[in-house]
Amino acid sequence: MNQPASPPPSPRLVRLAGYLAQDPANAGLLAEACEEAMACGRHEQAAAYIESGERLAPGAAEWRFRLAQWSIATRDLARARSLLEELRASARGDAVLVHDLAYVRLLEGDAAAACELLQPLLDDFPPHLTLPPELAGRSQALWLRACHERGALDAAWAWTCEAQAAKRLAPVAAGVASLIALDLDELASARSLADFALQSDPRQPEALVARGSLALAARSPDEARGFLQQALARKPQDGRTLLAWGFACLLERDFPAACDALERAVQAMPSHAQSWVALGWTRLLLGETAGALAALRSAVQLDPADAQAHGALALAHAVSGDADGAAREATQGEAIDASDALCKLARELAHAAPGARRVEALLEALSDQWSPRA
């Protein structure tokens, strides 16, 4: 269970460790110290407490559960899933185990399995499942995240509307739902859901991203930065947050910062075509034509039916002086959408004098093309 260097302990963990030094066989103290160590991110210390607990009570479910939690925290997902399935079989489907197993399946990339596991927790769950309000909210939020991940936006939105009407929608779930509303162009609902979530938790990450994206749609980059900075503080590697942050930097012409954010966004979401398009735009504005072409080709490969991706690639060819390449990509884009403005701009720039209003034209096109959806 060796782990990298850990963050500093909390004052409470220091106190608990001191008590344990005097009473190392105290199972209650061990449990508290283990949970506090995991909350602090001190995984190696938590592992030592788990080993001590299992020596005191071999095979005890509570320590097997803590080992599963430790395995999730350290991203040993196969082990976590095995432990949770074992515990679930003996505990007749305890709701906490169902939730945590669904979380593991989502981390493993199986959003459909996560949805299936969580479905009984949303409405009329079997009598043997106990669902405290806090767990009910987390289960709603996790189910919505899984739906979002698998693209089941309509089903997630229908459930959200029903739960909201019945006053059963938890604030944390409303934050996730605000992003779903955004992706369905339900902008007024996105704002109201995000505000509802932020009233309960001013740092709810999805709600912050939704409000930041709405501010960007209103072309208010300063307001957007305020929300997005808070979201990044909670989830610094979240691809959607990085994408919105990158666009905010673009609007303010901070191209190096935009490029940094968008390179991190494509690392977090390598199959997300629009992130590659945004990165291509940024590199183009930085004068990195080869990098722009590479990013935009990736976008077209990921979504060959996206006229705007073809249009952006056509623009990159035009800026690089490749009129033939610009015409080729513009033709492909116009075959998908004959009215695509980017393809038209690419044809104009391909025949314009070198450097003539290119940065301004690109920024105007980017601003017109961007939407708050993912």
Report yes or no: 105 and 140 within 8 Å, Cβ to Cβ: no
In eight-state DSSP terms, residue 57 is S
CA gap 341, 235 in Å, rounded: 35
SS3 annotation, 13-69: HHHHHHHHHHCCCCHHHHHHHHHHHHHHCCHHHHHHHHHHHHHHCCCCHHHHHHHHH
Positive or negative, the CA dihedral 239, 243, 244, 248 is positive
pLDDT tens for each residue of 227-262? 999 999 999 999 999 999 999 998 888 999 999 999
Report yes or no: 141 and 173 within 8 Å, Cβ to Cβ: yes
In terms of Cβ atoms closer than 10 Å to its own Cβ (0-12, 13-18, 19+), residue 206 is buried
pLDDT confidence band for 195 (50 / 70 / 90): very high
Which pLDDT belongs to residue 137?
93
pLDDT tens for each residue of 322-350? 999 999 999 999 999 999 888 988 888 88
Rounded to the nearest angstrom, the gap between the alpha carbon of residue 199 and the centroid of all alpha carbons in its chain is 21
Task: Decide: helix, strand or coil at residue 225.
Answer: helix
Topology (CATH) of 241-374: 1.25.40
Helix axes 341-350, 307-319, angle to 10 degrees: 10
pLDDT confidence band for 141 (50 / 70 / 90): very high
How many other C-beta atoms can be found within 10 angstroms of the C-beta atom of residue 316?
28
pLDDT tens for each residue of 259-276? 999 999 999 999 999 999
What integer is the mean pLDDT of 172-181? 97
What integer is the mean pLDDT of 63-86? 97
48 token code pair: 């030592």
Residues in Cβ contact with 295 at an 8 Å cutoff, skipping those fewer than 6 apart: 266, 276, 277, 279, 280, 283
Residue keyed to tokens 């952006």:
312
Which pLDDT belongs to residue 251?
85
Rounded to the nearest angstrom, the gap between the alpha carbon of residue 157 and the centroid of all alpha carbons in its chain is 18
Closest CA to 345 of 325, 364, 328, 322: 364
